[in-house]
Chains A and B, each alone.
Chain A
Amino acid sequence: MNYSLEVKDLAYAYPDGTQALFGVGLAVGRGERVALLGPNGAGKTTLVMHLNGILTAGHGTVTVAGTPVRKDTLKEIRQRVGLVFQDPDDQLFMPTVRDDVAFGPANAGVRGEELERRVKNALDRVGMLEFADRPPHHLSFGQRRRVAVATVLVMEPEILVLDEPSSNLDPAARRELAEILRSLEVTVFMVTHDLPYALELCERSLILSGGVIAADGPTRTLLADPDLLAAHRLELPYGFAIPAERG
């Protein structure tokens, strides 16, 4: 099968000796939207850091669209894996929205009209085109997160990796972001403990717990199993029940 992302037997220990991942294996098909669920401290962010080679595997492999993540492939990998960080202020470091979106492709050598076209297109896809000349700190949090998505979309990535995309968003911003993510024709790998958001956006989910993949299946099935969730410190919000399957 044609995988966007394939992780095999990935293990990692931090330099201080703390083991965070104990042999993670997963595969995400092209065009799929997959959620990685897990409580705080399960190793979600550590796993994400491996996907574009910020951390290098202690053991095991990460492969993006057939290219293994290695020192000599880093440049290519970082164009193919679009990482959206949890805090947009970490991601938007340039003086204006336009400069920020242009940063990635400019590093890859794109210039002139082609660059302009790609920046406009990416901002348009997240509905932020009219804010191109604003400094990021004058935008609302939800707008900043959308710009952060644009900064990676502009790279035309093979896979979009989002770290807690719904955190700190108000309900309207949360819904707007969901609509944007659904409209993108790109593979999405979303790391979250916001279970309803995973259900809303992703057909399939994985549970990462204690540094291993503890479950892999349709989001609806996983979330309907209270014992499975409880065993991994996950739970649905108060008053939330899995809605019946729509015809």
Chain B
Amino acid sequence: MGAGHHHQLYRPGASLVHRLPPQCKLLAVLAFAIVVVATPREAFWAFGCYALLLGAVAALARVPLTFIARRMVIELPFVLFAFLIPVIGMGERTTVLGLSLSVPGLWAAWNILAKASLGVVASILLAATTEPRAVLMGAQRLRVPSLLVQIAMFMLRYMDVIVDEMRRMKVARESRGFEARNMRHIPVIARSAGALFIRSYERGERVHLAMLSRGYDGRMPVVQEFSASVRQWVIALALPGGALAVLGMMAW
């Protein structure tokens, strides 16, 4: 609440990237990720080129690097995991700064780190230039099963409602002197989570009734068509196309 009128991942704008139809951007990001994953980990300079490509997209969309960096925090757990691999890894070992590290482990860590980071940045760019609702419509356009799209749509709509409900329950607990301090308090939190689940489930039933009341028959009506021109597809696919060209040059 109070986060302005846009989703926090979205950065309003009118750049070329913002204006592309969502299905083009979705497919472009997916294809880009596939090319990145398919790149051999030894190809350092190819990863550098991919990063440059993403940098170009960010510049085109006027998304500042600090914005991207802040949102990359989500990757931290993977980064920590990646740093652990060389330490606990097996096989040939080498010494860096007095630390004995596994060579295959180092390679694996680099592999995860480079590919995950590129994928995360591409997703951040997608989210920054496409409203969440449009992402879902794009997915629908790309024939993602309607049920999955609907579930995601409801998650988007009811996230704030449920978080609010959770906050109220927390206030209610704390007003009666409860504060989660140690392990013994876990059962209380667990019961709250259970109550929240039941409340959400009941809300789901009421929402379903409301939908039935307005003629819902299992499918969401498509009211807004985001049709994409050939030109828009070409622009969007320039990103994975560029990455593929880099990969092709390397293979050659």
Q: Which residues of A contact B (CB under 8 A)?
A: 49, 52, 54, 75, 78-79, 81, 83, 85, 87, 89-91, 93-96, 99, 102-104, 106-108, 111, 115, 134-138, 151-152, 155
Contact = CB atoms under 8 A, between A and B. Distances in A.
A75 B153 CA distance: 24
Given A54-B209, A90-B203, A95-B132, A104 B157 contact: no
Q: Is the interface of B mostly helix, strand, loop or mixed?
A: helix
B206 A90 contact: yes
Given A89-B203, A93-B207, A152-B214, A111 B223 contact: yes
Contacts of B154: 93
B213 A83 contact: yes
A94 to B, nearest CB: 7
15 contacts: A52-B213, A54-B209, A81-B213, A85-B206, A89-B158, A90-B206, A90-B210, A95-B132, A95-B136, A95-B156, A102-B221, A106-B223, A107-B214, A135-B157, A138-B5
A90 B214 CA distance: 13
B214 A94 contact: no
A208 B44 CA distance: 77
A90 B205 CA distance: 9
Contact of A95 (B153, B206, B216): B153
Contacts of B217: 107
A120 to B, nearest CB: 14
Contacts of A106: 221-223
B174 interface: no
Interface of B: 1, 5, 132-133, 136, 153-154, 156-158, 160-161, 203, 206-207, 209-217, 221-223
Given A75-B215, A108-B215, A137 B210 contact: no
B165 to A, nearest CB: 10
Given A102-B223, A106-B221, A78 B212 contact: yes
A111 to B, nearest CB: 7
Contacts of B5: 134-135, 138
A93 to B, nearest CB: 5
A137 B161 contact: yes
A151 B153 contact: no
| Main SS class of interface, A | helix
A89 B215 contact: no
Contact of B214 (A95, A103, A134): A103
B133 A107 contact: no
A155 B215 CA distance: 10
B215 A78 contact: yes
B55 to A, nearest CB: 31
A5 B209 CA distance: 21
B215 A104 contact: yes
Contacts of B1: 137
Nearest to B4: A138
Nearest to A112: B223
Nearest to B164: A137
A78 B157 contact: no
A78 B160 CA distance: 29
Nearest to B221: A106
Nearest to B206: A90
A79 B158 CA distance: 26
Contact of A103 (B133, B157, B221): B221
Nearest to B133: A95
Given A96-B133, A103-B221, A152-B214, 8 more contacts: A49-B209, A54-B212, A85-B206, A90-B203, A95-B133, A102-B223, A103-B216, A107-B221
Contacts of B132: 95
A137 B155 CA distance: 13
B213 A89 contact: no
Nearest to B215: A107
Cβ-closest 5 pairs across A and B: A106-B221, A107-B215, A104-B214, A95-B133, A90-B206
A90 B207 contact: yes
A95 B157 contact: yes
